[in-house]
C-alpha cells in the first residue's frame, strides 16, 4: 500500500540531490568538487586609503591586510553610486542604480512587497543554485531581505547606534542588544558559518561602521589613535588648517541622536576638536571592524572551509572626511568613490595585486556567479572579472567605472576622472595620475580638449545604453 508514495518520494530525493540541498555528507565527500561558499564582507563608508593594504601608514588593519595578502586585491575599485541604498542595490543586482530604480537612499526600515529592485539578485541566483542565503547586519533596501532572496536575516534596524542597537530576526522577532552591535553581528555571522559548513552558503555580512555615529565605539578603540600622528590628505587642508564643520562633526559623532533634536542635544563637541580627532574615531571604528573580519576568517578556518570559500571584502562607498571641504559622500571625488576590493579564494585564485583593471560594485555579482559556476542572469549590466582574477586576461571590457550621484553622472578610468552635473551641465575633469588629490580641474585646458570630448561622449553613450528604470504606476 506504500508503493504509491515510493515514486513521488524518489522524485523528491532526486530533485533535492540535484539542487544540492542535501548535506554534503550525503553527497560527494570530495571537497574539490563542491560549490564554493560565498562571504561578502561589506562595512559601510570605508575610504580605501584608510587601510594598511592600500598604503595607510598608521591604521591597524592586520586582518584585512592578511585577507588582501592571501587574495587578489584590486588597486582601482569604485562605487558606482557613492550613497548607501543605490550602492547596495547595484552590488546585489549587478545593475546601475539608474537602471534598477534605487537612485536615492530608501526608507531605512523594510516594508513588505517588492516595490524596488525588481531584477534577479545575487542572493536569488545563489539560492536557486542550492545555496543557503543569509544577511547579517545593515540592509537599507526597501523590501524585506526575504523578498530579495535571503532565506534568513539578522537585520540591524535604523537608526543606527552601535550600542543598544535594535535588531530584527527574519523580519519577525525584534529585540535590543546592549553591547557593541558589530561584535554581536560577528558572533551571529560565525554561528551561521558553523551551522552551514556542510553545504554551500552565501553570507552577506554588512557591519555598519565606520559610518557615523563614530563616537559610539568601545573605549579600547576610542583611545587607540593619537590624533597628532594621523595623516590628513592635502586636499582637506585650506589656508593651512584642516577642514572643520561643526554641524558635520556632530553628525559624524552622534548621527541620528543629534539629528533628531539638534537644538537641544545635550552633548557638545570636545574642546578644540579638529579633523584629526574626528579621524582618530573613524580609524578606531575601522580597527574594530578589522577585528570582526578576523573572527569571520577564523571561523572559516576553524570549520575547514576557508579554501573553498570566496570572500569578497569591499564597501558601499568611501567618505570625503574633509577633502575639498566636503563631508560624507554622494560626490565624484575619489575619497567618496574609491573603495577597497579584494577577493580571496585559495582553491582557485593565486594571491596578487591587480593594478591594470578597473572594477566597480556592478561587477561583483557576475564575478561571484561565474566563480561559483552559476549562470549570470541576462539583466546584469556588470562584467565578470573571472578571466582577470584567474590571470587568463590582463584587462577586460571598457576598463572604466561609470559613477552616478543624485545630481551627476561620470566616469573613471585608470588615469582620468570626468563628471557632469545633470541640471547645470557643470563639468569636472582630472588627470588623476598627475593630480591624485584632484585639485586642478582641466575642463578649460586646450591640451586636454580631446580627452574631455572623449569622456563626455563615453558618459553620453552610457546614459543612452543604460535605460532608466520606471516604476509602474
Ligand atoms: Ca553607506
Whole-structure pTM value: 0.91
Q: How far is the CA of 334 from the centre of ligand 1 (A)?
A: 15
Q: Would you place residue 149 in the very low, low, confident or very high pLDDT band (cuts 50, 70, 90)?
A: very high
Tens digits of residue pLDDT in 350-376? 999 999 999 999 999 999 999 999 999
- Backbone phi, then psi, for 228, in 5-degree steps? -65, -20
Question: Domain boundaries in the chain?
Answer: 34-400, 407-473
Going by the DSSP 8-state scheme, the letter that residue 335 receives in this structure is H
The CA distance from 15 to 363, in Å, is: 31
Tell how far the Cα of 186 is from the centroid of ligand 1, in angstroms: 19
Find the mean pLDDT for residues 174-184.
Answer: 96
Query: Is 472's pLDDT higher than 70?
Result: no
pLDDT of residue 19: 44
Distance 346 CA to ligand 1 centre (A): 29
- Is residue 5 predicted with pLDDT exceeding 70? no
Q: How far is the CA of 319 from the centre of ligand 1 (A)?
A: 9
Region 163-175: mean pLDDT is: 95
Task: Fold for 34-400, please state it.
Answer: Alkaline Phosphatase, subunit A (3.40.720)
CA distances to 62, 295, 309, 353, 364 from 370, rounded to whole Å, are 29, 27, 14, 20, 10
Rounded to an integer, the average pLDDT of 68-88 is 97
314 CA to middle of ligand 1, Å? 12
* Residue 9 reports pLDDT greater than 70: no
pLDDT greater than 70 at residue 108: no
Summarised one tens digit per residue, pLDDT across range 207-220 is: 999 999 999 999 99
Task: Determine the distance separating the centroid of ligand 1 and the alpha carbon of 46, expressed in angstroms.
Answer: 9
pLDDT band for position 107 (cuts 50, 70, 90): low
Band of pLDDT at residue 159, cut at 50, 70 and 90 = confident
Please tell me whether residue 142 adopts helix, strand or coil conformation: coil
Assigned CATH for 407-473: 3.30.1120.10
- Going from the Cα of 333 to the center of ligand 1, the distance in angstroms, rounded, reads 16
Q: Which of 16-25, 122-131, 323-332 has the lowest mean pLDDT?
A: 16-25
Q: For residue 399, which of 14, 163, 96, 78 has the smallest C-alpha distance? A: 78
CB 361 within 8 A of CB 340: no
Distance 65 CA to ligand 1 centre (A): 22
Q: What pLDDT is stored for residue 28 in this prediction?
A: 38
Amino acid at each position: 500500500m506504500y508503493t504509491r508514495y515510493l515514486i513521488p518520494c524518489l522524485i523528491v530525493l532526486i530533485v533535492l540531490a540535484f539542487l544540492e540541498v542535501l548535506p554534503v555528507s550525503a553527497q560527494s565527500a570530495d571537497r574539490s568538487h563542491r560549490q564554493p561558499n560565498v562571504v561578502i564582507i561589506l562595512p559601510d563608508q570605508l575610504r580605501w586609503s584608510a587601510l594598511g593594504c592600500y598604503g595607510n601608514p598608521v591604521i591597524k588593519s592586520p586582518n584585512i591586510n592578511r585577507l588582501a595578502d592571501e587574495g587578489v586585491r584590486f588597486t582601482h575599485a569604485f562605487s558606482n553610486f557613492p550613497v548607501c541604498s543605490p550602492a547596495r542595490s547595484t552590488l546585489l543586482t549587478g545593475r546601475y542604480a539608474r537602471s534598477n530604480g534605487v537612485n536615492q537612499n530608501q526608507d531605512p526600515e523594510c516594508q513588505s512587497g517588492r516595490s524596488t529592485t525588481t531584477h534577479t539578485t545575487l542572493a536569488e541566483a545563489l539560492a536557486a543554485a542550492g545555496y543557503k542565503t543569509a544577511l547579517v547586519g545593515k540592509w537599507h533596501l526597501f523590501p524585506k531581505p526575504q523578498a530579495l532572496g535571503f532565506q534568513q536575516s539578522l537585520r540591524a534596524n535604523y537608526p543606527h547606534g552601535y550600542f543598544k542597537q535594535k535588531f530584527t530576526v527574519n523580519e519577525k522577532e525584534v529585540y535590543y542588544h546592549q553591547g557593541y552591535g558589530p561584535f554581536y553581528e560577528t558572533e551571529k555571522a560565525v554561528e551561521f558559518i558553523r551551522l552551514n559548513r556542510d553545504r554551500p552558503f552565501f553570507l552577506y555580512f554588512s557591519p555598519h561602521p565606520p559610518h557615523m555615529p563614530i563616537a559610539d565605539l568601545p573605549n579600547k578603540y576610542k583611545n587607540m589613535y593619537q590624533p597628532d600622528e594621523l595623516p590628513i590628505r592635502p586636499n582637506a587642508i585650506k589656508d593651512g588648517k584642516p577642514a572643520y564643520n561643526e554641524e558635520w562633526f556632530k553628525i559624524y559623532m552622534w548621527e541620528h541622536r543629534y539629528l533628531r533634536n539638534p537644538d537641544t542635544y545635550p552633548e557638545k563637541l570636545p574642546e578644540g576638536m579638529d579633523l584629526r580627532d574626528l579621524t582618530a574615531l573613524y580609524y578606531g571604528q575601522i580597527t574594530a571592524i578589522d577585528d570582526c573580519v578576523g573572527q569571520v576568517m577564523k571561523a572559516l578556518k576553524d570549520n575547514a572551509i576557508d579554501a573553498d570559500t570566496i570572500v569578497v571584502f569591499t564597501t558601499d562607498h568611501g567618505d570625503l572626511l574633509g577633502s575639498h571641504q566636503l563631508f560624507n559622500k554622494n560626490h565624484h571625488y575619489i575619497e567618496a568613490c574609491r573603495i577597497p576590493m579584494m577577493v580571496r579564494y585559495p582553491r582557485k585564485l593565486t594571491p596578487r595585486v591587480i593594478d591594470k583593471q578597473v572594477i566597480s560594485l556592478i561587477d561583483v555579482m557576475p564575478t561571484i556567479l561565474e566563480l561559483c559556476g552559476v549562470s549570470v542572469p541576462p539583466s546584469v549590466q556588470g562584467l565578470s572579472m573571472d578571466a582577470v582574477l584567474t590571470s587568463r586576461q590582463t584587462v577586460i571590457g571598457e576598463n572604466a567605472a561609470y559613477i552616478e550621484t543624485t545630481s551627476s553622472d561620470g566616469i573613471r578610468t585608470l588615469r582620468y576622472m570626468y563628471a557632469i552635473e545633470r541640471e547645470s551641465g557643470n563639468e569636472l575633469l582630472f588627470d588623476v595620475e598627475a593630480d591624485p588629490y584632484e585639485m586642478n580641474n582641466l575642463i578649460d585646458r586646450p591640451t586636454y580638449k580631446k580627452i574631455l570630448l572623449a569622456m563626455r561622449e563615453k558618459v553620453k553613450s552610457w546614459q543612452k545604453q543604460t535605460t532608466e528604470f520606471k516604476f509602474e504606476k
